[in-house]
Structure 1
């Protein structure tokens, strides 16, 4: 089974807007991160895996209806990507 890959621009506009807001709140710009997503064929969109990279650091999150953004913000709060 082949995994489908998505770029940041392919994510829902609501996810992109929330991501940009979280970045701004923590002093970052979306361009500071490489965001991609992947999903197995037939898998619901909310079950995809979103991966955020910055430099040598990366973290993968299960989408779960936008929960990945809350988890990403928690990582920013704890300075995971600094």
Structure 2
């Protein structure tokens, strides 16, 4: 058996009189708990949820129609104003 695990095995078998085995296990678990918290924070910081915005397809199509000359500037402004209104909440 690896020497690192020997105090834990003795403690669990009831042959050890010191708390070094339990202390070793607690330190091991504490290390991984802290490491997982740090990893989680880094992942959340690098890949934020909800901040990835998709392009508004209605606005994209409206801009394309305006660029092609299918609608004039007054129509473009009116349609843009309608699209920028907040969506009504259901219920």
TM-score interval w.r.t. the shorter chain?
under 0.3
Higher relative contact order (CA 8 A, sep 6+): 1
Give 1 or 2: higher helix fraction: 2
Q: Which has the larger radius of gyration?
A: 2
Structure with more strand by fraction: 1
TM-score by length of 2: 0.22
TM-score by length of 1: 0.24
